[in-house]
Structure 1
Amino acid sequence: MGLALVASLSLISGCTAEAVPTPRRDGGVPAGGFRLVAFDSCGQAMRQLKTAAKAYVGPWGFGPGGDFRTFGRAEQAGVPAAAKQADAVPEANAAGAGTPGHSGTNTHEAGVDEPDLVKTDGKRIVSVTRGKLYVIDPATRRLTGELELAPGADGWTDGSLLLHGDRALVLLREGWAAIAKPAIPEGRPAAAGPARGDIVGPRLVMVDLAGAPKVIGEYRIDGSLVDARQVGTMVRVVVRSAPRLTFPHRERATDAQRTAANREIIDRSTVDDWVPRYEVTSGERTSTGRVGCERVSRPASYSGTSLVTVLSFDLAAAMLGAGDPVTVLADGDTVYSTGDRLYVANDQRWRVLPMLTARDVAPDPRDETTEIYQFDTGGAGAPRYVAAATVPGWLVNQYAMSEWDGHLRVATTRGRTWGTKPDSTSSVYVLRADGSTLAQVGKVTGLGRGERIHAVRFVGGTGYVVTFRQTDPLYTVDLRDPTAPKVSGELKINGYSAYLHPVGEGRLLGVGQEATDQGRVQGTQLSLFDVADPVEPSRIAQYHVRQGHSEAEFDPHAFLYWPAERLVVVPLTVHGSAAVGKPGLPSNLALALRVGDGGFTEAGTVDHTLGGGPPGDVVMIRRSLVVDGVLWTVSDAGLKATSLTTMKTLGWLRTA
């Protein structure tokens, strides 16, 4: 979210301030009017921020339902944005694919890494769980390092990390930051500015892995961790924050009185209530600060209720540094990057859908518009804003965007997908930069009427779109002529795929749910599609696990495809199965299948059963990776090494 918005500050040099426009009723940024303008001073910033926020605040705070805007999409980013492979048929997972001996994180694009709870470079495996970092030597299958990062954070599992050489950057979300305040070593200079512990937000920890792992820098900032991307040694960390204002509930007041009182709270606020504060620790020195007003910019229209900050860290630098923070008054929720281009999409649908669903009414088309901003990230230094676009509807995830041959393809759904009278439909739009606008050059509409998109995959000049309500149409879309895209074929089967992955020439693998004719889900299914003839796609094999669910259905970081063995590994939770543990209890395992020309062959399963516990004491497996012919599975309890050829256990390292 918002990485590109912030990065485009390189455009604002020489801009002068404008009069504050009337905020849109949804507080969003209108495409076509997108222009960043820097504030000249804190005084000017506060006058304009207060004017915008007072026009947007209501009797219950910001947003139609009150303060829930503060806890919007960014709070849901603990489920990382869905991943995808490069547009060519992949030979291995995108990250780490250059080294044949090991797999990498299943990322959106090759060369653009994403944070995950485990990483490997083939020489070491590094994982973070329950507030601790672990280093494993895959050759000896021994734990070689352990570092406590968040004392007292036992039970929290949403840490993630990025890796480069002997450096790891660990990202701990605001929950850990709030309960796990690091002790100040005796003799360390006191922090200037806000009192230590006042900042509630993500905590970033730089760890040196050259010997015994040790912390060499820490960073904390107000807000919510959205996501991060790494290209080479450079890491961009995106944080979303909101004004630190409290709007009390007034029982005996009218809505007009509540709104007036909330506007008075805004009037009394200071700059310290609005801009993010940060704290930096390097060695034995801790300093604090806040984003300067001169580093805050605004687009042409904004609500003043959401701020996006990007931090930049070089993993090759000696120190973590202050992150060079810059902030934009904007919002966003989906980021897609090719490395040379970065796109950010801003979806405002979540503001109104809960209320519309309750009333079973259709959304206003103005609430369904997704704004997309394109930035040039191919050169050194800050990314450069290039163009903007607006498309009807909303995106399922970052898979819904893909750049190919200078064009951006975007798949969206619009309309009502719930209730007794669904009127939704899905489309694929093709855009190309034309000056400062991403102009539409082609489109395909009318896909899956009454349904919504569950999965998208673009592979070269072909798009694959899965929609679902009761059955699963898999559409193949011919995008080779960007000005005249067309639906080539359609396959209707029960259930749906939530993630699509190319597994060889003319083959596509789907992970999702089987369903009845009425659309009632029946458990995890893996489908193998023959898409060699886009006019007549077919499903040639299915593997169904009744009452099963897989994290790979909503987080492709949990999906592993190892081309050398044509091996697919997905984690599963199976209810009512006796496969692992006691009958009737949920079973947690990793399922390994080999993909042949004609279907699936079960290679085996792996479970993480805690020794000494009851028979049903089985821990959920989260990730899997391959290093030198060994399958490693990762859970909160530890890591298990399994032979790829025999599927026999080679070692178990317990970390819980």
Structure 2
Amino acid sequence: MIMRIMLTILMIGILLLSACTIDVKPSQTEHPKPPRLPQISGKGEPPLSQDELNGTQELRKFSSAAELAEFLSRNQPVTGYGYDSGMMRGDVIEASMNMVAGAPMMEKSLGAGAGASEYSETNVQVEGVDEADIVKNDGKYIYTLSGNKLVIIDAYPAENAEIVSETEIKGQPKNLFVNGDRLVVFSQDNENVLVFQEFDIIPRPRYTQETHAYIYDISDRSDPDLVADFTLKGAYFQSRMIGDYVYFITKENVYYYSHFVDMPVLKESGKTIIRPEVYYFDNPEDQYMFHTIASINIQDEDEADAKTYMLGYSNNMYVSKNNIYITYQKNFPMWYTQNYNKERFYDVVLPLLPRDIQKKINDISEDESLNSYEQWDKISSVLQDMYNEMDEDDKEDFIEEMMKAVQEYDLKFEKERRKTVIHKIAIDDGMIEYEAKGEVPGSLLNQFSMDEHGDYFRVATTMSIWTRSGGSETYNNVYIMNKDLDIVGSIEDIAPGERIYSTRFIGDRLYMVTFKRVDPLFVIDLSDPENPEILGKLKIPGYSDYLHPYDENHIIGVGKETGTNQWGGTSIRGVKLALFDVSDVENPEQIDKYEIGEAGTDSEALRDHKAFLFDKEKNLLVIPIREVKGRYYDGERGYYRNRVWQGAYVFEVTENGFRKKGKISHGEEDDQYYWGSPSAVRRSLYMDNVLYTISAKYVKMNDLSDLDEINEVELPYDRNYYPRPVYY
């Protein structure tokens, strides 16, 4: 009896919710449909037709700021996004967007003086594509960002290491590149401008984000000379350097004010040099963002270019030597979700109703003498009467059939909504040109979920779905796309119930780690793009957050160990290093592991591959560690605290496994009690046989043979620049 009451309530709720919304887009099904669905808002037809909502899927370019403003004004009722306060500022009132051509590049200058015969470089994903970081070195000097300063250290030989210059950077320094005698620092700052609201008598202040690319001539390391200051509106996203060309991307919410748009601009030393052309797709997004890509020749500040693409909100990017791939989760405009329940009612529920009930509902919907509320009042009465006339068995059968149909519909909708959009943009010696757009089901974890190989682009995704009707699915996929980003091969439904924790594409193989209770490592063959296949898998406790090739037959994993807790569930333990032998692709095996610390132990290398130092020739592996090991009673504060150590773990690694060589710390144990501590080691590098570890406080130098300390340089960090203590 209770079950029947619950089913009754459930069915009525679904019927009511399925039709109680404002608008609806036309359906493609063949069952009877009213020519005009109820418009509860009383505003008539939706702001855009269905064809306009779908768009042409072709790349278009705005010819003027006025055209862009008109597009946003037309789409704002659909997306619920944008501002219309009558403000104007600076370049906002410009009506055209003409691109300024750059000058030819100069010859690359010579680098620093005599240094180490061998030295490490930033750990990057794609060979030949440098990634900006907080620390760089050239075998002689170390360049690091300490607080809001650029610090240059004459680091070789280590015995004589010293700071040779400190340069204050305006704003919040993010990353840097070094190229011979040129250096670029990316810094994010807020621009304070005065704007006039409509019919206001005085200007009002407004803050907008902007990203600076400060280019320095460092021929004299003791006195860096600022030679250019390129500024892009928006927040710093990512950057890459290929040869002498630096590409950096900013993201900015699209704001418009009455008939004016706050347009992207590229400035040099405060002067506008480029107003980038703005490209877009005519299908509306829920949230528009300007993605402005600027290219500058680090050796010739007169050579620059920029283009802007108005896309959805992005969170991942992959860059090869020839292309930039920007990705984001598909964003349906608010209009879609506002009408979802009504569309589901007509697509799913109505066809399941008796024909006479369908006719009554359609007749009511076609009655234009009734407003939308009156129409729904009559429709709901018809549904109530129908339900009351059913016997109990018919009710249960009907509910079961309806729930199944609704869940299938919800899953189909959610799969479409949870697709990832991929935009491919070609780059070549500073040139920027849009190439293609594609979509794949599921979401990407990070940049290592993507890879360009020859004429193909490969991605690994996780599909996680929770529907309104209570259904859920989680599984993983691999897709191979051609140069036009059309899917040509795929493997779907991998490891149901689990999600991807790490992936690494290496040649014709993909190594993928998923996790729920154990860590399956999949070896996937991609040699035939149209027919990828799983060759083998290994299931072990724990998981890897980052995978790094040791050689063609061995993979290093860095992640967390797991165990079974007292309730039979899975508990996360310390940081784990794992070495996998994949020479037998059908039977990969873990040949060694090393666990560090207890639950709560962490490493920046789990989230940022640039914190991972590996050199096969030196058998060297170094990772930063925040190690939790035991607890003690803090009498001053009156509670127990974790005993925490922060520093770097140094390993010798061979194809047989790991051997800990030692640990290096930048502070006393009592100082390591909070996240973001200036004593935390962030990066490590080597020059010849010296290991350099870098925190906000120090650069320490240790002999790689025995880890004996050689020297240390104290950095000019400001304790107030770092986060407040978080006790644990």
TM range (shorter): 0.7 to 0.9
AA at the equivalent of 1:43: A
Residues 434-486 of structure 1 show CA distances to partners (whole Å, capped at 9, x for unaligned) of xxx32322211221211110100111111111011111111111112222211
Residue 24 of structure 1: how far off its partner (Å): 10
Provide the secondary structure at the position in 2 that maps to 1:520: strand
Q: Measure the CA separation in 1 of the matches of 2:321 and 2:128.
A: 7
Residue 562 of structure 2: which of 496, 508, 515 is its match? 515
Q: Which residue of 2 aligns with 1:490?
A: 537
The answer to which structure, 1 or 2, has the higher relative contact order (CA under 8 A, 6+ apart) is 1
Provide the secondary structure at the position in 1 that maps to 2:73: helix
Higher alpha-carbon deviation: 565-574 or 593-602:
593-602
Which structure has the highest helix share of the two? 2
Residue 526 of structure 1: which of 573, 577, 584 is its match? 577
Q: Measure the CA separation in 2 of the matches of 1:630 and 1:592.
A: 12
Does the 8 Å contact 1:46/1:270 carry over to 2?
yes
Q: Say if 1:290 and 1:618 are closer, same or farther in 2 by CA, change over 3 A.
A: closer
Does the 8 Å contact 1:429/1:444 carry over to 2?
yes
Residues 86-120 of structure 1 show CA distances to partners (whole Å, capped at 9, x for unaligned) of xxxxxxxxxxxxx9701111111111111100111
Residue 605 of structure 2: which of 538, 552, 558 is its match? 552
Residue 639 of structure 1: which of 699, 702, 713 is its match? 699
Residue 626 of structure 1: how far off its partner (Å): 1.2
Q: Which residue of 2 aligns with 1:296?
A: 278
Does the 8 Å contact 2:153/2:165 carry over to 1?
no
Q: Which residue of 2 aligns with 1:444?
A: 491
Residue 237 of structure 2: which of 209, 226, 230 is its match? 226
Q: Measure the CA separation in 1 of the matches of 2:467 and 2:72.
A: 37
Q: Which residue of 2 aligns with 1:370?
A: 420
After the TM superposition, which residues 142-153 of structure 1 pair with which residues of structure 2 at under 5 Å, given as runs? 142-150=161-169
Q: Which residue of 1 aligns with 2:508?
A: 461
Residue 204 of structure 1: how far off its partner (Å): 2.2
Q: Unmatched 5+ residue regions in structure 1?
A: 1-19, 63-98, 182-193, 245-265, 353-360
CA RMSD, aligned part only? 3.5
Q: Say if 1:318 and 1:475 are closer, same or farther in 2 by CA, change over 3 A.
A: closer
Residue 136 of structure 1: how far off its partner (Å): 1.4
Report the count of equivalent residues: 532
Does the 8 Å contact 2:295/2:431 carry over to 1?
no
After the TM superposition, which residues 334-353 of structure 1 pair with which residues of structure 2 at under 5 Å, given as runs? 334-348=316-330
Residues 378-415 of structure 1 show CA distances to partners (whole Å, capped at 9, x for unaligned) of x4452343333211101111111122243222111102
Q: Measure the CA separation in 2 of the matches of 1:22 and 1:120.
A: 56
Asked if 1:630 corresponds to 2:690, the answer is yes
After the TM superposition, which residues 126-525 of structure 1 pair with which residues of structure 2 at under 5 Å, given as runs? 126-141=143-158, 142-150=161-169, 159-174=174-189, 177=190, 199-211=208-220, 212-244=223-255, 268-272=257-261, 274-277=262-265, 279-281=267-269, 286-288=270-272, 291=275, 295-303=277-285, 305-318=288-301, 323-331=304-312, 332-348=314-330, 364-377=414-427, 379-416=428-465, 423-433=473-483, 437-517=484-564, 518-525=569-576
Q: Measure the CA separation in 2 of the matches of 1:532 and 1:554.
A: 27
Does the 8 Å contact 2:305/2:431 carry over to 1?
no
Q: Measure the CA separation in 1 of the matches of 2:645 and 2:593.
A: 21
Does the 8 Å contact 1:453/1:467 carry over to 2?
yes
Does the 8 Å contact 1:21/1:301 carry over to 2?
no
AA at the equivalent of 2:581: D
Residue 133 of structure 2: which of 116, 131, 134 is its match? 116
Does the 8 Å contact 1:444/1:486 carry over to 2?
yes
AA at the equivalent of 1:396: L
Q: Say if 1:195 and 1:57 are closer, same or farther in 2 by CA, change over 3 A.
A: closer
Does the 8 Å contact 1:432/1:441 carry over to 2?
yes
Residue 633 of structure 1: how far off its partner (Å): 0.8
Q: Which residue of 2 aligns with 1:603?
A: 661
Residue 50 of structure 1: how far off its partner (Å): 1.5
Does the 8 Å contact 2:678/2:697 carry over to 1?
no
Q: Unmatched 5+ residue regions in structure 2?
A: 1-46, 84-115, 194-202, 335-409, 633-639, 718-728
AA at the equivalent of 1:449: P
Give the structure with higher Rg (CA). Answer: 2
Q: Which residue of 2 aligns with 1:589?
A: 647
Q: Measure the CA separation in 1 of the matches of 2:206 and 2:214.
A: 16
Residue 376 of structure 1: how far off its partner (Å): 3.6
Provide the secondary structure at the position in 1 that maps to 2:416: helix
AA at the equivalent of 1:558: A
Q: Measure the CA separation in 1 of the matches of 2:672 and 2:318.
A: 44
Does the 8 Å contact 1:291/1:327 carry over to 2?
no
AA at the equivalent of 1:588: Q
Residue 178 of structure 1: how far off its partner (Å): 6.2
Q: Say if 1:195 and 1:170 are closer, same or farther in 2 by CA, change over 3 A.
A: farther
Q: Say if 1:327 and 1:439 are closer, same or farther in 2 by CA, change over 3 A.
A: closer
Q: Measure the CA separation in 2 of the matches of 1:614 and 1:113.
A: 34
Q: Which residue of 1 aligns with 2:589?
A: 538
